[in-house]
Structure 1
């Protein structure tokens, strides 16, 4: 019997990308993995991207939130409406290739798939070139390198968070697959209580993956299942405030999963060293360092540390959300994409 997967898509001002994503689902080869219900949870978009979403061939439900509940909360909200044994959390700025579900379903049928609870795919750009697909689970050394720029100067000592394309030449077990295509077994999702809603944006899937590993469930990267990923269509609209949300999520992750001594040390780097490193890095890359925005983000982060509560939407609303650029077309088959 063909396995059934429900799909949850959280949307916030993604323009035409959401419709393109849905159409790619409808066109996908479902001979080995059949799409059940598709739930779109819209976090109070202002660009009309969640209006009139009718796609032939999809059992589609749209949930409209009055405000932005955050990514983790909206994912849980959508998953609560699903019933299949598999749940795919899919970014609205992705587009499946025609064989993505078939390739994924073929692996799910193998005995080797039984020990994995989370499944990912290869992310590519519009020309089929690799994008970030998998990451190392964070460690103090990884975060210290990212905060100070040492991951670029001395990667052997401070490994980068994301795996490079040359490290992902074949399918297999990885620390973590990114959340743009995040396929989860429903029993595992239920056992973990879904995503931790204290993460408003960023690291919710990292936290979920770590908790799954502690229960004995590994993550699998399928190098043959390709997904076009436009990347950061929603988050770029936040401007510098997306770094505020990253700081909050990163700090929460450190204090939840690391010894407090290490967490406080890295928090000190976040406050004292990282802002300087970011400003210097911008100047070295020929960009104008935005000192005012950096200081505003740091003040907001300090306020969050004092409150000790989960972050809500950014403390200063971004400018009116702009219409997201239309997605670039992706090749239709493996043969076409390998020829570019």
Structure 2
């Protein structure tokens, strides 16, 4: 069995993969690329990488589970196509995670393309905070300025720390945990899958760790932050509704 497998989902992100894959491939033992629609693959795929091409587009969680099933590593790294890991980023995540028997998920310190810190270690969402983030109220109360506790904005730390949840752009996941939880929840159309995974991991006794020694750059599109009325906004609202139906106790977090 290989140790670290990587799964990358491309939904027309051929250009981004042309940058990511040559950097990621040397850091992992196995690499699977899921092409979710035509135009998803760069001109060249690293030697040894396997490509899974979908006949019809699937949901993100479906594609992650598909990629996980196509790999054999004891650890599975999921990466967005718009992430670029620094050399040694995967080794830093894995090197820390294996020292914690109950570490199920590990995530890196993330930067914007301009080098500034991107807060990806977060508290589980509250109803009030979500309403501000996903309505015009965000114009009055900018979340990345005002929601300091949710984003841990005052905690750009340099040592590993446990997290509620980690933004699902670049996550190292223990296969044993994924098998126990049944993988990512394919009922989500898009968005909130990462929160749900971390919440279910927490309830099952699996730790989620932020590991700042591992560093990546993420060109985060923030589509739902830029427009209030779009299909992405609707998908996010439906996903939050699903999360609350699955975990009604979280509604008490006002």
Q: TM-score, normalised by structure 2?
A: 0.85
- Once the two structures are TM-superposed, the CA of residue 43 in structure 1 deviates from its matched residue by 1.3
Matched residues in 2 for 1:98 and 1:260: separation?
A: 38
- Once the two structures are TM-superposed, the CA of residue 126 in structure 1 deviates from its matched residue by 2.5
- Once the two structures are TM-superposed, the CA of residue 131 in structure 1 deviates from its matched residue by 1.2
Residue 110 of structure 2 is matched in structure 1 by: 123
2:125 maps to 1:135: no
The correspondence of residues 79-228 of structure 1 with structure 2, limited to 5 A, is 79-110=68-99, 113-147=100-134, 149=138, 152=141, 161-164=150-153, 166-228=155-217
User: Which among 219, 226, 236 is matched to residue 230 of structure 1?
Assistant: 219
Matched residues in 2 for 1:158 and 1:176: separation?
A: 16
- Once the two structures are TM-superposed, the CA of residue 134 in structure 1 deviates from its matched residue by 1.6
Q: Secondary structure of the equivalent of 2:94?
A: helix
User: Is the CA contact 1:209–1:219 (under 8 Å) kept in the aligned structure 2?
Assistant: yes
User: Which among 32, 41, 58 is matched to residue 50 of structure 1?
Assistant: 41
Q: Secondary structure of the equivalent of 1:184?
A: strand
1:271-330 deviations in Å (ceiling 9; x for gaps): xxxxxxxxxxxxxxxxxxxxxxxxxxxxxxxxxxxxxxxxxxxxxxxxxxxxxxxxxxxx
Matched residues in 2 for 1:235 and 1:78: separation?
A: 26
User: Which among 211, 217, 241 is matched to residue 251 of structure 1?
Assistant: 241
- Once the two structures are TM-superposed, the CA of residue 221 in structure 1 deviates from its matched residue by 0.2
Unaligned runs of 5+ in 1: 29-34, 264-340
Flag the structure with higher strand content: 2
Number of residues of Structure 1 aligned to a counterpart in Structure 2: 249
Matched residues in 1 for 2:54 and 2:213: separation?
A: 36
Q: TM-score, normalised by structure 1?
A: 0.65
Residue 8 of structure 1 is matched in structure 2 by: 7
1:142-175 deviations in Å (ceiling 9; x for gaps): 32443454993899x9766433263545321011
1:222-242 deviations in Å (ceiling 9; x for gaps): 111100111138989x98211
Aligned-residue CA RMSD (Å) = 3.1
Q: Secondary structure of the equivalent of 2:185?
A: coil
Q: Secondary structure of the equivalent of 1:243?
A: helix
Bigger Rg, structure 1 or 2? 1
Judged with a 3 Å threshold, the aligned counterparts in structure 2 of structure 1 residues 259 and 173 are, in CA distance, closer, same or farther, namely closer
- Once the two structures are TM-superposed, the CA of residue 53 in structure 1 deviates from its matched residue by 3.5
Matched residues in 1 for 2:92 and 2:245: separation?
A: 38
Q: Secondary structure of the equivalent of 2:151?
A: coil
Matched residues in 1 for 2:247 and 2:102: separation?
A: 23
